């Protein structure tokens, strides 16, 4: 393989900002922040939704409203049912 053309593949810490869960997996993503987990410093990437907070994996229904999508939907089609 050619040198200097492949991204750096290393362990990266991902933090779910919804519930604070942090997990470390190998990735090539660029990060500007770092965090220390078990005495080891990792690049830190903050994510809005992960398997720790996604309704499919948790079994809990949540509405994640980004940029007023829920309100726009309710204006078009009426209010959603609660429950």
pLDDT in tens, 56-74: 555 666 566 566 777 777 7
Specify if 3 maps to a domain. Answer: no
Specify if 19 maps to a domain. Answer: yes
**Counts of helices then strands in the chain (DSSP H, E):** 2, 4
Q: Which two tokens stand for residue 79?
A: 């209010």
Specify if 5 maps to a domain. Answer: no
Specify if 17 maps to a domain. Answer: yes
Specify if 41 maps to a domain. Answer: yes
Task: Supply the range of the domain harboring residue 69.
Answer: 10-77
pLDDT, tens digit, 9 for 90 and up, residues 13-59:
999 888 888 999 999 999 999 999 999 999 999 888 776 676 555 56
User: How far apart are the C-alpha atoms of 45 and 60, rounded to whole Å?
Assistant: 24
The pairing of strands 40-47 and 10-16 is: parallel
Specify if 52 maps to a domain. Answer: yes
Q: Is 73 helix (H, G, I), strand (E, B) or coil?
A: helix
């Amino acid at each position: 393989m050619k040198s200097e053309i492949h991204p750096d593949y290393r362990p990266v810490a991902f933090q779910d900002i919804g519930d604070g869960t942090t997990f470390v997996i190998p990735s090539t993503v660029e990060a500007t922040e770092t965090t220390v987990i078990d005495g080891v410093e990792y690049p830190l990437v903050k994510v809005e939704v992960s398997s720790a907070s996604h309704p499919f994996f948790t079994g809990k229904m949540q509405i994640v409203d980004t940029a007023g999508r829920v309100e726009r939907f309710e204006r078009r089609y009426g209010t959603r049912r609660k429950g």
